[in-house]
Amino acid sequence: MIKLLDAQDKLSLQVHPPAGKAAELGGDPKTEMWFFLETQKDAGIFAGLKKGVGKKEFESALAEGKVAECFHRLPTEAGQAMFLPSGRVHAIGAGNVILEIQQRV
Closest CA to 5 of 34, 30, 32, 29: 34
**Taking phi first (over 0 means left), then psi (-120 to 50 degrees means alpha), and beta for anything else, what does residue 55 get?**
alpha
Q: Please tell me the distance from the alpha carbon of residue 102 to that of residue 29, in angstroms, as a whole number.
A: 10
Give residue 105's pLDDT. 67
Give residue 77's pLDDT. 97
Which domains occur in the chain, in start order? 2-102 (2.60.120.10)
Give residue 16's pLDDT. 87
